Structure 1
């Protein structure tokens, strides 16, 4: 009944076909390039001549997802979310023997799952994932040779397979089954066999490895080549930039950021200013970084990274020994913006610690070393900490962090044997006062022993990494440790 009423409210909205016309194919790929205005013009032109094409509703939703995830526009989220049920109902008019019916419905639910999770609506976002999973599983049973189903089903199998053990019971009760290896295989089947969705599937594959499973050398090489193959693709420039930054290769990332396409055809993307600021902070170019953080906040209308950007402005001034002006940004970091993501949670926690006098000038070297290491400026980072020892600091937490910083630098310098000693020391010192550093040390020790094929030893460290409670890196460390354990067959 609800679906029928919705359809009555949308004239000529009966989907009777699925037709990947050349114009709509171009719109699909323009969306992936973040050329949203161009894509929407193509969609509307096609709608004027063939309004009964279900692919239209899919593309409308696909464009909205990209806009919402990048803009974080709360008003647009409220307006556009009202379209979900209408689009689902339109696609629901396809015949049951059409394999695209459940596939498109599942895709739209997944789009809104990601959007709702982004905007802090975790409960509704989770239910969207469950509904999408069930639609995809049903589609696979009904149409086992329909390859597009595997694109998103594979993604869900990997994500569910990465759920930490203490939450696994929820997935089992709901009938959700995860398997990381099977999920990756499904996604790669789409890459091999389905040209239309090949790039999206390949991007999904590499994203999962970049943020959870770990990138191979060949995957990293592929990430570098992509923007060269599609110089007009803003999304690929962004993805390559963030992936290289995550891999500690910020000098290389800067080149892709600098060559990112611009112009009226592309949606506004102020977050690129934030990325420039991050790299400059890592290099120790504090005055330049400060300007880019301010430019980001001036043009950004979203809610994530606001506290973090104020905190980074505090750091730029504080690390440049401008204590007088730094404090006002610590106050903003403690009070303005959301705390949905780990970066903003960390910003609030450290800003409050500074304002309460728990952070002192002695710790500046640790922050300088941290950001230089994150950016891959390893020789500079080592110069910062090389002459320091535990006697240079007063608290056990500071001593723990010093050991962790030295371990990370040495590990990235490909000196794992020496890094192990510092990780072990950080793990010992941080069990109670610094669980985040202790958990991170255990995770890295797991990776080192895994690379040495000492699987039993690696497994014990991954389990230990997950055992630490209530620290700022809990979600990301648990996901990575769980993924590693699953790969080990645990």
Structure 2
């Protein structure tokens, strides 16, 4: 699980508001919000300005302004822009305090601003200030819920805070507990599921798309459920938004659940127009999906991502994947050129980039193992298995490759629901790799724990989750540890 992924999920969509004294979500505000939600930020700004000119006391415009900045920051990951915009939070809180107090939106609107900036600050690594904003948001939401228990929007935000604090890495959870903040991922997701069924038949039904969006991301990136493609796509089909967001979400869910053909089709179908705020992540996802299918133009989209993206994440990972595109084409010169860029460009803030740097500095990959890895990631399990047919551990010189061969076969068989075979291969990876710095053995233990949890053998599941935790100093340490701890917690309830 990736904490940053979770942050991305929650900052991706913010608040929708409705009518109240001095909080009048009129038709123009609805148009502005839809423009924000469609990533037409320039259109949104123009509409908000029109509303301010006609109704300067409408507090909704304050929130819409905040939302524009919010979406702008998460689509750009631009640190300079963040530094310029973050001081606006206090002014907006003060302005909201000047509106009608006898409204469920009075405390809620302030909480939304704190929540949004808490998430943005965490995204940019300002964890101390972020935690303070989260605490203020939760306190305001709790007060609001006490006054207005039937006000469903507050339940959405409380669920999100529950997920955020439940998904934090251990070192951040310790700091959060010091501030009196805690969370539970399972409980937060359950709250969102309940809200999804409740909200459609209420006056707050316009929150439906947001709740579905969160649930898709939480299911995949937090709970790591990779077998719920049909259920999630059913949710998405019911979304009101028929434009960029829905098409993107269909592509994302397909890519993350091993439905690579559908992912490519959806990501290629995303509308492109100058009216939309650029979303380089679309090119990154499409490039990755095309690499999994071994398309010859995969590198085009990865390089486009590098060229247009203004943040710090996935630069090294993208350069490494471009290098692999040329590796598979036996273009030694370009492979080495982009391998060097993976070493020297970008940052190591994200675990994927840390892993990319390690791979770029490591020994040359084994052709069959690398190809099988991408086939497996794309859901092409038969092709992945065929790529490794007849490959023996004894023919591999590097310990890294010996561990990965066993791990990769375990991974493929698990995806094919052949659990006995998966456990056997995973166990071999653990036996020879448990003291290595590669992630294969630890993730194999985590995966076996997941299999036993799925078949309701809690004792064995707990045993393997503990084994995963006992392995130290390996890649993806924080992510694997967090998932293993969450698994143990579930087994001991």
TM-score by length of 2: 0.88
1:235 aligns with 2:245: yes
Moved more, 425-434 or 229-238: 229-238
Superposed displacement of residue 231, structure 1: 6.7
1:366 aligns with 2:369: yes
1:386-433 Cα offsets, whole Å, 9 max, x none, are 211210212332211110101111111121111110011111211111
Task: Name the count of aligned residue pairs.
Answer: 469
Residue pair 1:35, 1:265 contacting (<8 A) in 2 also: yes
Superposed displacement of residue 291, structure 1: 2.0
Superposed displacement of residue 304, structure 1: 1.4
Q: 2:157 maps to which residue?
A: 152
Moved more, 446-455 or 172-181: 172-181
Which consecutive unaligned segments of at least 5 residues does structure 2 have? 1-19
Q: 2:86 maps to which residue?
A: 81
Moved more, 379-388 or 213-222: 213-222
2:188 aligned residue (165, 174, 183):
183
2:321 aligned residue (290, 312, 330):
312
1:199-256 Cα offsets, whole Å, 9 max, x none, are 2123222221111114486664333562685574212222221222111211111111
Shift of the 223–38 alpha-carbon distance from structure 1 to 2, 3 Å rule, reads farther
Q: Partners in 1 of 2:298 and 2:318 — Cα distance?
A: 10
Q: 2:98 maps to which residue?
A: 93
Q: Partners in 1 of 2:27 and 2:156 — Cα distance?
A: 22
1:115 aligns with 2:120: yes
Q: Partners in 1 of 2:361 and 2:83 — Cα distance?
A: 32
Residue pair 1:32, 1:233 contacting (<8 A) in 2 also: no
Residue pair 1:34, 1:233 contacting (<8 A) in 2 also: no
1:422 aligns with 2:431: no
Residue pair 2:216, 2:232 contacting (<8 A) in 1 also: no
Superposed displacement of residue 72, structure 1: 1.8
Q: 2:487 maps to which residue?
A: 484
SS at match of 1:268: coil
1:50-99 Cα offsets, whole Å, 9 max, x none, are 12122211111122211211112233222222321111111122354433
1:47 aligns with 2:52: yes
What is the RMSD of the two structures over their aligned residues, measured on CA atoms? Answer: 2.4
Q: 1:210 maps to which residue?
A: 220
1:174 aligned residue (168, 173, 179):
179
1:270-309 Cα offsets, whole Å, 9 max, x none, are 3222222111211122x31122222222233222111111
Q: 2:9 maps to which residue?
A: none
Which consecutive unaligned segments of at least 5 residues does structure 1 have? 1-14, 354-358
Residue pair 2:229, 2:257 contacting (<8 A) in 1 also: no
Superposed displacement of residue 436, structure 1: 1.2
TM-score by length of 1: 0.88
Shift of the 479–135 alpha-carbon distance from structure 1 to 2, 3 Å rule, reads farther
Moved more, 159-168 or 469-478: 159-168
Q: 2:291 maps to which residue?
A: 281
Q: Partners in 2 of 1:27 and 1:49 — Cα distance?
A: 14
Q: 2:352 maps to which residue?
A: 343
Shift of the 360–165 alpha-carbon distance from structure 1 to 2, 3 Å rule, reads closer
Q: Partners in 1 of 2:66 and 2:405 — Cα distance?
A: 48
Moved more, 445-454 or 188-197: 188-197
Superposed displacement of residue 163, structure 1: 4.3
Q: 2:14 maps to which residue?
A: none
Shift of the 236–126 alpha-carbon distance from structure 1 to 2, 3 Å rule, reads farther
